[in-house]
Amino acid sequence: MHPGGPRFDGAVVPGGYAWWYVDALSADGAHGLTLIAFIGSVFSPYYAWAGRRAPENHVAINIALSSPRASRWAMTERRAAALERSPAHLAIGPSHLHWTGDHLTIALDEICAPLPQRIRGTIRVYPHALVTQSFALDAEGRHVWQPVATAARIEVELTSPALRWHGTAYFDSNFGATPLEDGFTHWDWSRAHLAHDTVVFYEGQRRDGSDFALALAFDAAGAARAVEAPPLAPLPRSAWRIPRTTRADAGQFATVNRTWTDSPFYARTQLTTHLFGEPVSAIHESLSLTRFRSPLVRAMLPFRMPRTLR
């Protein structure tokens, strides 16, 4: 981050990674999306097989759409020649992210796999406030979570598939100096917009067996404060049998509305839960990095995550 917003030109060391993440839900609750732009793609089998020597040679934009009419998923890995970046601009192949000073514009032109459907169009994210605090996920500070805008307005205008909607969004980033699976075995992450705050729960286990847990509320100005996390609330396992756990007020339950992405090592889900006295919709992720380490799982990934020759 810099005083004017996120920046995309920071160094990514060999073995490390950077990613920028946006999720959103339409005002009517019918549509959702997640988008992640990677340098040193942490979930890339190609980056792992190459010994993680050159993060800028393993870049990708992942887009997942959840819609009653057109749900699509794309993630094409590209080489260093496809990467262009400056403080306010990040281009990976034909798609790019650009920070204008008060909002993020995302121009998409991606091809799904294994079915070659196109995802093309423009997304604009308008933060209500910018967050300037960052949070280390390990004692050495090798893995850092940087929220950018925990509450934002989004406008989605896609030509393929033909979708147009607006709603609420969330925008953050993560940076690391070592492989993610060397630092952690698993985590659960979720965010929910309350009437006045956005709450984020980020918790899991490090590879050394120690636990980490963040429970934070971000106010309308983007300032964070620690809160006492409500009790754990179990969720059904994903179709790939990934364990999922979230948070809900005592005596309340959390339910899965839709699983947006279901893979052998992670699941992203839209939830209904109850937090700090309010019924809310939440976006939730469960990640198993022990699963990701499996040679079998890595061998499966190229079917959904092709790598271009340029």
DSSP per position, 270-295:
EEEEEETTEEEEEEEEEEEHHHHT-H
Tell me what pLDDT residue 5 has: 86
Q: Which is nearest to 118 in space by CA: 72, 78, 81? A: 72
Q: Which of 168, 224, 225 is nearest to 195 (CA)?
A: 168
pTM as predicted: 0.96
The CA–CA distances, whole Å, from 219 to 150, 203, 258, 264 equal 9, 21, 27, 35
Q: For residue 230, give the DSSP letter.
A: P
Q: Please report whether residue 211 resides in a domain.
A: yes
Residue 237 counted as domain residue: yes
235 lies in a domain?
Answer: yes
% the chain with pLDDT above 90: 96
Indicate whether 310 belongs to any domain.
no
Is residue 4 assigned to a domain? no
Distance separating the N- and C-terminal Cα atoms of the chain: 30
Kindly report, residue by residue over 295-308, the tens digit of the pLDDT.
999 999 999 999 99
* pLDDT, tens digit (0-9, with 9 covering 90-100), for 24-63: 999 999 999 999 999 999 999 999 999 999 999 999 999 9
Query: Which pLDDT score, from 0 to 100, does residue 88 have?
Result: 95
Q: Which pLDDT band, with edges at 50, 70 and 90, does 125 fall under? A: very high
In a 3-state reduction of DSSP, which class is residue 13? coil
| 265 within some domain | yes
Q: Within 13 A of 17's CA, how many CA atoms are on the CB side?
A: 27
Whether the per-residue pLDDT at 310 is higher than 90: the answer is: no
Strand, coil or helix: 72: strand
3-state secondary structure of 186: strand
Token pair, residue 31, equals 């549509």
* Residue 235 reports pLDDT greater than 80: yes
**Distance (Å) of CA 304 to CA 22, 81, 158, 297:** 20, 22, 22, 12
Q: Is the pLDDT of residue 133 over 90?
A: yes
In which residue are the tokens 């910018």 written? 130
DSSP states of 15-66: T-EEEEEEEEEETTSS-EEEEEEEES-TT-HHHHHTTT--GGGSEEEEEEEE
**The two structure tokens encoding residue 127:** 């933060």
Q: What is the largest CA-CA distance in the chain?
A: 54
Q: Is 236 exposed, middle or buried (0-12, 13-18, 19+ CB in 10 A)?
A: exposed
What is the residue range of 217's domain? 17-303
Provide the CATH number for the domain around residue 149. Answer: 2.40.370.10
Is pLDDT at 2 greater than 70 in this prediction? Answer: no
The arithmetic mean of pLDDT across residues 115-144, rounded, is 96
Asked if residue 290 is part of any domain, the answer here is yes
Domain contains 174: yes
Residue 250 pLDDT greater than 70, yes or no: yes
When divided into structural domains, the chain yields a total of 1
Check whether 137 has a pLDDT greater than 80: yes
